[in-house]
Homo-oligomer: A and B are copies of this chain.
Amino acid sequence: MDTEIFRKISYGVYIVSSRKGDRINAQTANAVVQITAAPPQLVLGICKDNFTNECIKESGVFAVSILSQETPLSLIGRFGFKSGREVDKFAGLSYRLGNNGCPVLQEHTLGYLEGKVVKELDAGTHTLFVGMVTDAQRVNEGEPMTYAYYHQVKRGTTPMSAPTYIEAEKKEQREEKTMEKYTCTVCGYIYDPEQGDPDSGVAPGTPFEELPDDWVCPMCGATKDQFEPAE
């Protein structure tokens, strides 16, 4: 089996949110598809280990914010590499509560879909939720972020809890031999001096050593001392 071919399946990048009592939470997700048009239903694949899964199971409601292509890595990383059990992922972000009480982003978001779970299926490490869409609204104009764009242009990485995680991704990153690149030991993000980190105002051509001391991983927020030379 050639697992590389899995990478040719196309996805968008979404923030799937839910709530548990008064607590709200959300996570980055890619496994979101419309499954029927009449009535409008979505399918979501959510890792069982994630707090968002627990919230959706308990409340039976969710919202999907569709990220724009301009979304900074830091936002995707905040929702993808941290757990809502420990941090309030929405702190400092512009969002509002939808009709079903789930938070929807107002920044870097083309629009959102709110839904109510009508069926669920155990798929091993992940739960498949089938949801009836109860509302859908546009928020900003723009093009949607795709998984391909996220990986190729934004150089984003994939957490182990994603349905699409491939060990090869880390391996491939390790195989890049240029000594000037630095790898984040927390999330696997690679700082490439040729690319810089434009999201954080770091110009292409900036060596790792010259990054400001308060620079953090654009993906997961790890500090500079948590980086090591890429092998």
Could you list which residues of chain A lie within 8 angstroms of chain B, going by C-beta atoms? 1-6, 8-12, 30-41, 43, 45, 66, 110-113, 119, 121, 123-126, 128, 130, 133, 135-138, 144, 146-148, 162-166
Docked complex Cα distance between A45 and B136 (Å): 21
Docked complex Cα distance between A41 and B127 (Å): 12
Cβ A164 vs Cβ B45 within 8 A: no
Cβ A125 vs Cβ B38 within 8 A: yes
Which residues of B sit under 8 angstroms from A123, Cβ to Cβ?
A: 35-36, 41, 43, 119, 130
Docked complex Cα distance between A140 and B177 (Å): 27
Copies, count: 2
Which residues of B sit under 8 angstroms from A35, Cβ to Cβ?
A: 31, 45, 123, 126, 128, 163
Cβ B66 vs Cβ A45 within 8 A: no
Knowing A5-B66, A6-B113, A136-B1, the reply to whether A31 touches B31 (Cβ < 8 A) is: no
